[in-house]
Structures are given as structure tokens and as C-alpha cells.
Amino acid sequence: MKKAFMEIFDRIMGSIREPIVVLDSDLKVLKANHSFYQTFSVSPEQTEGVLIYDIGNRQWNIPKLRELLEDIIPQNTRFHDFEVEHNFETIGPKIMHLNASRIYRKGKQVQLILLAIEDVTEREGYKRNLEKIVENRTAELNAAREVAEKSKNRAETALQQIEKLKEQLEAERTYLQEEIKLEFNHENIVGQSNEIKYVFYKIEQIAGTDTNVLILGETGTGKELVARAIHSLSLRKDRALVKMNCAALPSNLIESELFGHERGAFTGALCRRLGRFEIADGATLFLDEIGELPLDLQPKLLQVVQTGEFERLGSSETIKADVRIIAATNRNLEEEVRMGRFREDLWYRLNIFPITMPPLRNRPDDIPLLVDFYVDRISKRMGKSIKLIPVSVMNALRAYHWPGNVRELENILERAVINSSGPKLHLADELKTPRKDFIRSGKTLAEVEREYIVQVLEQVQWKVSGKNSAAEILGLNRSTLRARMRKLHIRKP
């Protein structure tokens, strides 16, 4: 289990910006993510295999940390926002929120401990400064009242200022709580438009159940983020979200990936392999691009959805799995059913609770928030400091029609950050709004999409994947673009 967990940690948890540490049952560090090493100025060599309290010349011998970790093992407890203030010799004072969880399997003792650390030093300092301002102003008011009764008007003015500061402090506290909720509950889905707030509402409405969910939306709108948000709010959140992209593998390998195979089940099957359904037993399975699932495999998927039972390739043994399914597609499955490319009974089973991610062009009010979020994240990753986004740049981004949605926006902003040498953001792409005559041409959506893809392919000399390719410009995965080309009968002349 430790090996499997560490693989998940490297691929998923390593991308989280908060410091994360994995401890064994003896409280020795097995692994930490990049954010931990960067935040606390330590290296993997100084950390891995070391008792947590001994890290950095015993700088981590913190009484409250001991209380947290030594209580969690016998009590099987989980702590949220366990606040610790500590002065490190190397990096100075820090205020941290600690969160520790046991990771175990049924019927077995604790295997690992996941310690999440949120550095709230700056945020808490800002709040305390506001509180100090309120305290100072209150003292000024009391002094003014004692000096003379004639200063009554001045005292009333000071009182109004105090009330204003108190309201400001309360508003700041509320904002920070909402920010934390957005960050941890909605997996970096950024936005405040009515369209995206409705998505948040739907996520919170369904997350606590075991109902299957179907996420709809164009490519690049953030369907996987919705799946991760649902999982992180569910009762299965202590297990990893298992993902399977139905468009990323050849059809002859998808069945093995989903259901596993026995040794010798087919040529090249040198050992038994567990499928995604077995791995996701007791957890959540995210089936991305479900509309690309071959028709001949859909009955077997339907059987698992209905009964929770399946067989590995090359075996007659029935396996039971308790799996919650979240599926996503950019296709119109109802139309696919009418065309005979998707089973109607499977569609009914998956379409119990649909959530539609709106395209970016329908939520222009969210574009400034998304731009700030991605520019800040990309700049930090590249070691740059982009502080100014010109009005002309923001207007151009708001006016663009975003065929590739949020993924295209992120790609364009990354190129813009690379292209910017100073604190001001410079676009590297020329963003053009659709021509009116193009919009009024009377063409179908498929025809418009086909012409646009062909135009981009011709622009890059039919380079589908890689740097400066059509997939990069369109903000699509390589496999998704190839699937769209096959569906729209696009071939290089």
C-alpha cells in the first residue's frame, strides 16, 4: 500500500501548493512535496527517513505537533485547523494550520499518516494588524472622552471609524473563510458569476451522496475539476480519486485498463493486473471522455453500474466493487444515443444527476479572476513577478470567444508570462473575435468547428501535438484533438 500511495503522492499530491508530508507509523518522513521543502528551506536528503521532530536540528520538536500526531494514532482522529505558532531558527516565526489523517485499509493497523500544513503567517498577521488598529482607535476614543466633554463630536467620529474598522475586520474574516472553502472544496474552480455559482451549488448538493454524476461541457471548461471537487466533499474523500480517460487509449486496451486481466489473457499479458474498478473499490472512479467508450464495451460497463460486479479478462471469477462513478463528456450523449453510437440504457444509468460546466464565453465576468489566478500561479512557477495587467490586455481577453475555454486561456497566459520581461503582462498571441459574416453563415456547429480546426492545422503545417502545435493552440489534449479530427473526417491533404 505504501508504494501505491507514494505513486499517487508523486503524481497528484505533489502538485498541491500547500506543504504535505507523509509519515510512517513511527512518525518518520517517507515523502514530502516540493512546497514543503520550499516553504521550510529543507531538502529531501535532510528530511526523508528522519523522525519528524528531528528535522532541521530538531526545529520541528513542537509540543502541539507532538500532541496532534501522538493523539491521532490511538484515537483514529482527524484534526482540522489545528493552529500552531512556532519560531524556526532558519526561517523565523510561522503560523500554521495542521491537518493530520490516518491512511489505512479495512481490518489493518495504521499504515501511513498524511500531515497537511497551511502557512497562514501573512494572513494571520494581516488580521492581527487590523485588530491592533481597532484596539488603538478604541484607546484614542477613551482618551478623547477623558480629555473634555466638548470633544464629543470628535469622539463620535472616532466611534464611527471604529465601527467601520470592525466591519472591515469581519468582512476580511468572512472573505478568508470563503477563500478557504473555494480552495479546498472546489479544487481551484475560480469564478463568481451566476453560472459558476450554480455549478458550486450542484456540487455541494450531490457530493455527500453515492449517486453517479454526469458532467457535461465543452473541452477545456474544467470538467475534471468538478469531479475532483465532488470527490473531495464526499464520504470517500480519504481515498484517492481514480481517473480513466476513455479517449487516451486504443480500444483494445480500454477493457484491460477498466476491468484488469489475468496472466496469459492475451498476448503480452505476462502477469495479472488490477483494473481501475478494483483500484477504486470504496472510492470514486472518474471516467473522462465517456462518449469515446467503444460500443462493444458499453454493456460490460452497464453491468458494473447496475450490479457492481465484473470479471477480469481471462477469468470467470466474479468480482464485486463498491465504486462511485463520475463520468464526463464533451459530446451530446442524447444525440449519440439517437445515432446508435451510445447505449440508451447506459446513458440513463449515468445521467441521474447531470452537471453542465458553462463555456468561458458565457461567463465573461469570471475572466479577470481567472487571469489573476493563472498569471499569479504561472509567474511563481517561472520565477517572475507580473504585477500589472493592462486594461487593453484584459479587454482583449474578455472580447475573445475562447473556443478552447479555460484550458486555452491558461495556455495563452503562460505564453504571455514567458513573453513578458518586466512587471507588465504582454500578450504573445493576437486574439481575434469571430467575424460577423462567419457567424451569420448559416453553417452547422460541426461545420464551423471543422473549418476552425482545419484553419489552425494549416497554420502550423498540420502539426497535431507538441510545442506550437494545433493541440496547444486549441487548448486540447492530443488524444481529444485526434478524436475530433476522426469524427469530423479531417485528414491531411
CB 247 within 8 A of CB 479: yes
Q: Do domains 194-356 and 361-433 have the same CATH topology?
A: no
Angle at the Cα of 160 (from 155 to 165), degrees rounded to 5?
120
Report residue 446 as a C-alpha cell.
Answer: 460541426
pLDDT digits (tens, 9 = 90+) for 23-47: 887 888 888 888 888 888 888 888 8
Q: For the chain, what percent of residues have pLDDT higher than 90?
A: 20
Task: Give the separation between CA 354 and CA 177, rounded to whole angstroms.
Answer: 28
User: Mean pLDDT across the chain, nearest whole number?
Assistant: 80
> Does domain 2-119 fall into CATH 3.40.50.2300?
no
Average pLDDT estimate for 189-198: 88
Express as a percent the part of the chain with pLDDT over 70: 83
Grid cell 503524481 is found at 11
Contacts of 410 (CB under 8 A, 6+ apart): 374, 378, 475
Once rounded to an integer, what is the mean pLDDT over residues 462-475?
82
Cα separation, 430 vs 177, in Å, equals: 38
Instruction: Find where cell 470633544 sits.
Output: 151
The domain 194-356: what is its CATH number?
3.40.50.300
Which pLDDT score, from 0 to 100, does residue 326 have? Answer: 95
Task: Give yes or no for a contact between 231 and 284, defined as CB atoms under 8 angstroms apart.
Answer: yes
> Worst-scoring range by mean pLDDT, 43-52, 157-166, 241-250?
157-166
Q: How far apart (Å, rounded) are the C-alpha atoms in residues 343 and 297?
A: 10
User: How far is C-alpha 231 from the chain's CA centre?
Assistant: 11
pLDDT score for 108 = 57
Residue range 386-395, pLDDT digits in tens: 888 888 888 8
Burial of 123 (0-12, 13-18, 19+ CB in 10 A): middle
What is the per-residue pLDDT across 326-358, written as a single tens digit (0 to 9) for each?
A: 999 998 888 889 888 899 999 999 999 999 999
Structural domain spans, the chain: 2-119, 123-185, 194-356, 361-433, 435-493
Confidence of residue 183 (pLDDT cuts 50, 70, 90): very low
Over the stretch 262-319, which tens digit does the pLDDT of each residue have? 887 677 767 878 888 888 888 899 999 999 899 989 999 999 999 999 888 888 888 8
Secondary structure (H, E, C), the chain: CHHHHHHHHHHCHHHCCCCEEEEECCCEEEEECHHHHHHHCCCHHHHCCCEHHHHHHHCCCCHHHHHHHHHHHHHCCCCCCEEEEEEECCCEEEEEEEEEEEECCCCCCCCEEEEEEEECHHHHHHHHHHHHHHHHHHHHHHHHHHHCHHHHHHHHHHHHHHHHHHHHHHHHHHHHHHHHHHHHHCCCCCCCCHHHHHHHHHHHHHCCCCCCEEEECCCCCCHHHHHHHHHHCCCCCCCCEEEEECCCCCHHHHHHHHHCECCCCCCCCCCCECCHHHHCCCCEEEEECHHHCCHHHHHHHHHHHHHCEEECECCCCEEECCCEEEEEECCCHHHHHHCCCCCHHHHHHHCCEEEECCCHHHCHHHHHHHHHHHHHHHHHHHCCCCCECCHHHHHHHHHCCCCCHHHHHHHHHHHHHHHCCCCECCCCCCCCCCCHHHHCCCCCHHHHHHHHHHHHHHHCCCCCCCCCCHHHHHCCCHHHHHHHHHHCCCCCC
pLDDT of amino acid 168: 44
Is the pLDDT confidence value at 111 over 90?
no
Q: Is the pLDDT of residue 173 over 70?
A: no
pLDDT of residue 443: 65
Report the C-alpha gap between 242 and 283 in whole angstroms.
8
pLDDT, one tens digit per residue, over 431-457 is 876 544 444 455 677 777 888 888 888
Q: What digits encode the pLDDT tens for the residues 45-64?
A: 888 888 888 887 888 888 88
Distance of alpha carbon 334 from alpha carbon 355, whole angstroms: 15
Q: What is the structure's pLDDT at 191?
A: 87
| The domain made up of 361-433 is a member of CATH 1.10.620.20 | no
Q: In the prediction, which pLDDT does 312 show?
A: 85
* Closest-CA residue to 198 (of 361, 349, 362): 362
pLDDT at res. 29 = 87
Residue that wins the pLDDT comparison between 273 and 217: 217
Cα–Cα distance measured from residue 373 to residue 196, given in angstroms and rounded to the nearest whole number: 16
Least confident of 94-103, 224-233, 271-280: 94-103
Considering only residues 5 and 288, tell me which one the structure prediction assigns the higher pLDDT.
Answer: 288
* CATH architecture classification, 435-493: Orthogonal Bundle (1.10)
pLDDT number for residue 151: 66
The whole-angstrom separation of Cα 166 and Cα 131 is 8
Question: Given this model, what pLDDT does residue 184 score?
Answer: 37
pLDDT of residue 305: 92
The mean per-residue pLDDT over the stretch 386-409 comes to 89
Read off the pLDDT of residues 248-259 as tens digits, 9 standing for 90 and up: 888 778 888 888
